[in-house]
Structure 1
Amino acid sequence: MDLFSTTIILFIAILTMTTAHPTNLTSILIPLYIYPTPGAWDPLYSIITAYPTQPFTVIVNPDSGPGPKRFPDDSYIDGVVKLKVFKNVRVIGYVHASYTARKLEDVCKDVDTYTGWDRYPRSDISVDGIFVDEAPDNVGKDGRNLNYMKSVRSRILENFNGIGKSGFTMTNPGVIVDKRFYESSITDAVVSFEDTLKNYYAPGKLEVSKDMTKSPGTPSEMQAIIVTSVDGSPARERYILNKLVERGIGFVYFTTDPDYQKFGTDLAIFVDQVARSNGLVEGKVKVGSGL
């Protein structure tokens, strides 16, 4: 082998080593249900700034949905504008289906309102998709619930494709569900666990279920995990988070807070561990810094 060929091979090898990052990074999922009073969202802005290559998926929720008006109020607009500055953040809008008890047209109206944020004239407050909370966990009689969710997804895709976006959709039954709810005609991701840490390994949950008709047999990158009321040592939290990233879980949120009304005291630990497990170590936030 001549010197030129050897040099090329070495260059390719070095390039491969220096760019070898996971192709599917676990995204930090943030249910941002805190009203943006002055400074209220600053901890989130700070942590996103500190980890510029860590993906974040942020759920905005002005009023159990977009609210009754065409656009949110000025405080909310200012908050969303700041989020939109970050290139590593996907912003999605909250709607709720009430386990299909809510009228389909009301859910679709919320989707229409969020899509309409793209037409706000003074700044960019457009969202990138929709988070459907209180999604059903069973297909229903004659597939009724499945068809309901297909209709919601159809409205999302129609609206967002119309403004040049993919219409990313995440549904939240909060438990493992029938595999049919993972079809592309319904969603891009499913929250298959939303509960306290003490129930993380409870019977029938994602970590321990053997029911292969449900979500344990679905792609890990479509799974979203939300764990509240995190207690115990930071080492335990870091261990569980590392395992989730190793498994390729697509989206994860851990918090010491029980009801999403404030940022948990472990926000820095949580984000830092996911970023490290993803192989992203650019950001450094001191634990206990008030984030």
Structure 2
Amino acid sequence: MFHILSFLCATLALVSTAQSTGVIVPLYAWPGTDAWTTVYESVAAHPSVPFYLIINPDTGPGATEYPDEPYINGISKLNSYPNAHVLGYTYTNHGTRAKSDVEKDIAAYAKWTNYAGKDISLAGVFFDLTPNGEDQSKLDYFQELSSTTKESGLNMVVFNPGAKILADVADWFAATDFIVEYENTYANWMALAPTEHLSKQGNDAKKAIILNQTPADASINTVVKLAKNMGLGAIYLTYDENYMGLSSVSKVAVAVSQRRKVKRKGYTGH
């Protein structure tokens, strides 16, 4: 009986890991003229898949107290879906941008919770251009930004070095909910074994990858299946490199939503 229970628990854990992978989308396209429609449709069609959607009104929140009306309408619509987690973009210039300026962006995003007309509250902040840990003097800067973000009521923190963390790996992952350890081309991803692109000290559920310049004939399903088998927390593939096109969102969402079959000793679980 013990062996049967152990087997079932292991099987369920594997299935759970496969289902936990989410879709992370740099949602940088202007939300007017139905540009985000494919995102709405994908989020609605796959309610069990978490979507992490990064909005960027003006290389950050912008100079006004609240975003323009198209963003207000778009964010509030995204917030109507329980599986959508909207993140506000800011940047750090690899830890050289004045921390006070980054904190102003955090405070501005936090204030959106107070908007009376619609729900434009954000789930968290996406910090772009973060370092890869090689310069160990930068860690305190980012630990403090993470604490400030969560103390402001923005509960999700994502760092984007776009490359694997090289030092103090455990400390970097402890300070965040996700780290984008790969943001580069599809060709570069395929050139090496996937594990070569990522840090090796676990934390797989907190790792995210973003592949750009994906060829039209590339197998998105194959890349997503591998990411799910690795237990990665989030993935995205896009055909362009500036993230203005969103035509791949539905394909990535379908691939992520597919339940992986677990086979062991003749048993197939779904």
Tell me, yes or no, whether TM beats 0.5: yes
SS state of the match for residue 168, structure 2? helix
Q: Find the residue that maps to 2:195 and give its secondary structure.
A: coil
* TM-score, normalization by structure 2: 0.85
* Gap change, CA 1:193 and 1:49, over 3 Å in 2: same
Task: Specify which of 262, 267, 272 is matched with residue 249 of structure 2.
Answer: 267
Q: Secondary structure at the match of 2:117?
A: coil
Give the alignment of 1:1-291 within 5 angstroms.
22=16, 25-140=20-135, 143-160=136-153, 167-183=155-171, 185-202=174-191, 207-208=195-196, 215-231=199-215, 233-234=217-218, 236-264=219-247, 266-277=248-259
Is residue 104–residue 148 contact of structure 1 (8 Å, CA) maintained in 2?
yes
Greater relative contact order: 1 or 2 (C-alpha under 8 angstroms, separation 6 or more)? 2
Runs of 4+ in 1 over 4 A off after TM superposition: none
The answer (yes or no) to whether the contact 2:216–2:239 under 8 Å persists in 1 is no
Q: Mark the CA change 1:278 to 1:135 in structure 2 (over 3 Å): closer, same or farther.
A: farther
Q: Which amino acid in structure 2 is aligned with residue 244 of structure 1?
A: A
After superposition, the CA RMSD in angstroms is 2.4
CA distance in 2, matches of 1:47, 1:132: 25
* Percentage of identical aligned residues: 29
**1:102-154 CA distance string (max 9 Å, x none):** 111000110011011111111110001111000011342xx321111112112
Letter paired with 2:238: T
Question: What are the ranges of 5 or more consecutive residues in structure 1 without an aligned counterpart?
Answer: 1-16, 280-291
Q: SS in structure 1 opposite 2:100?
A: helix
| Structure 2: gaps (5+ residues) | 1-10, 262-270
Alpha-carbon spacing, 1:243–1:206, altered in 2? closer, same or farther (3 Å): closer
- Residue 101 of structure 2 aligns to a residue whose secondary structure is helix
Aligned AA (1:152): L
Distance 1:181 1:188 in 2: 13
Contact 1:115-1:159 at 8 Å conserved across structures:
yes
Give CA-to-partner distance per residue, 1:18-62, whole Å, 9 cap, x none: 9x9516610111110011112111111111111122111111111
* Mean CA deviation greater in 179-188 or 246-255: 179-188
2:31 and 2:70 in contact (8 A); partners too: yes
Instruction: Tell me if structure 1 keeps the 8 A contact 2:214–2:239.
Output: yes
Relative to 1, partners in 2 of residues 1:158 and 1:135: Cα closer, same or farther, differing over 3 Å? Answer: same
Q: In 2 relative to 1, CA 258–155 (structure 1 residues): closer, same or farther, beyond 3 Å?
A: same
Give 1:258 shift. Answer: 1.6
CA contact (8 A) 1:58 1:89 kept: yes
Q: Measure, in 2, the Cα distance between the counterparts of 1:168 and 1:275.
A: 22
The answer as to whether partners of 2:39 and 2:250 remain within 8 angstroms in 1 is: no
Which residue of 1 is the match for residue 5 of structure 2?
A: none
Q: TM-score, normalised by structure 1?
A: 0.79
Instruction: Give the number of the structure whose alpha-carbon radius of gyration is greater.
Output: 1
Q: Paired residues, what number?
A: 249
Question: Structure 1 CA distance, aligned partners of 2:251 and 2:230?
Answer: 19
Structure 1 CA distance for aligned equivalents of residues 87 and 54 of structure 2: 5
How far apart are 1:92 and its partner, in Å? Answer: 1.1
